[in-house]
């Protein structure tokens, strides 16, 4: 059995390499920025690690390792480096090579274009994460509840077909009315694509890896579809971190180094939770993670007109995770007391 520290050797190695690269890119100031961004990514995405662990516990070890290796490459290079360039290219109606030039030589203009797409990014990511959250709580097979008086009615709502999509779309339409008219249609369209992407990804996971139909709504089985599902969840989490990082630096490469190192730590936490069987020991931890995902989604959507500090998002997620952990400990103690 691996020790806890052994799960993080790769993460510490990547972090050290990122710090060294940052020093050559921007000196000691860039080093501090990378360290802060690494911590920010871990704080914002720890609930992502819990959700990933809930999926990976049903996978065998080779697929877990593939997720750790190939997943981190996708997370760092695609989502933290290539994806922002694509957004700037599409929004600015410029060639990808020009977007790279902006990132290197005119970072202020690059950041301005990136920020102009904030409402669309928030709509897509927020809608996708809302679907992730509600798909857990409306699952008809779900019998254990943490916040009983909220979760039990949601489970009953799950008897209605596609209720999670209806709720997510209603939230998107509601939020669109607080936006200027010029952004409203773009926001709704991006939110619809977030819902569609979730449905297609979850459907692909079930199509490629069919399992028990009673549990397929919640359990995502190993394979290409399951891998894609986890990567899209990570992508939705990364939107908030990438946009928030521009408050610290306009240097795309410093952002990629810091958030990439943080993503590696999140992956290590995921594998640790799986190997230690943490979700089995603490029954409400997964519930807390999904509530944190729902909170992040609502903050992304309702905060589209105003910048919500990343500290607020991170602290709210941490509070929900810690509260669910303590509730699990208390429930375990009560159960042991009853048995004795």
Question: In the numeric block, which tokens belong to residue 11?
Answer: 């993460």
Instruction: Give this prediction's pTM.
Output: 0.76
Dihedral pair phi/psi, residue 92, rounded to 5°: -80, -5
Q: How many CB atoms lie within 10 A of CB 108?
A: 8
pLDDT score of 192:
93
| Mean pLDDT, each 10-residue run in order, the chain (340 residues) | 70 90 89 86 78 78 77 71 79 83 84 82 86 85 84 86 90 91 91 88 62 48 71 71 70 84 84 78 85 87 77 80 90 81
Cα three-residue angle 38-72-317, rounded to 5 degrees: 50
- Cα end-to-end distance, the chain, whole Å: 31
pLDDT score of 176:
92
pLDDT score of 76:
67
pLDDT score of 97:
86
């Amino acid at each position: 059995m691996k020790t806890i520290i052994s799960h993080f050797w790769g993460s510490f190695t990547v972090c050290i390499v990122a710090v060294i690269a940052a020093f050559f890119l921007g000196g000691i100031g860039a080093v501090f920025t990378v360290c802060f961004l690494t911590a920010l990514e871990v704080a914002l995405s720890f609930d992502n690690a819990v959700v990933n662990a809930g999926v990976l516990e049903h996978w065998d070890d080779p697929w877990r390792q593939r997720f750790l290796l190939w997943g981190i490459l996708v997370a760092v290079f695609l989502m933290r480096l290539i994806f922002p360039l694509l957004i700037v290219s599409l929004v600015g109606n410029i060639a990808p090579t020009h977007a790279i030039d902006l990132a290197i030589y005119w970072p202020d203009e690059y950041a301005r274009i990136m920020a102009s797409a904030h409402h669309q990014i928030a709509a897509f990511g927020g809608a996708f994460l809302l679907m992730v959250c509600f798909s857990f709580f409306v699952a008809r097979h779900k019998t254990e509840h943490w916040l009983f008086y909220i979760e039990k009615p949601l489970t009953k709502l799950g008897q209605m077909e596609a209720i999670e999509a209806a709720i997510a779309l209603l939230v998107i339409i509601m939020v669109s009315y607080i936006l200027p008219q010029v952004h409203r249609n773009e926001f709704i369209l991006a939110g619809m694509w977030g819902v569609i992407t979730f449905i297609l990804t979850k459907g692909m996971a079930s199509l490629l890896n069919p399992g028990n139909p009673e549990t397929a709504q919640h359990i995502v089985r190993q394979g290409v579809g399951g891998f894609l599902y986890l990567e899209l969840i990570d992508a939705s989490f990364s939107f908030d971190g990438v946009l928030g990082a521009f408050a610290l630096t306009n240097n795309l490469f410093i952002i990629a180094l810091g958030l990439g190192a943080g993503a590696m730590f999140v992956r290590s936490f995921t594998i640790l939770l799986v190997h230690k069987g943490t979700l089995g020991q603490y029954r409400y931890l997964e519930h807390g993670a999904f509530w944190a995902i729902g909170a992040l989604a609502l903050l992304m959507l309702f905060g589209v007109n105003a910048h919500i500090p990343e500290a607020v998002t991170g602290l709210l997620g941490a509070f929900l995770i810690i509260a669910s952990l303590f509730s699990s400990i208390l429930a375990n103690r009560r159960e042991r007391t009853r048995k004795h």
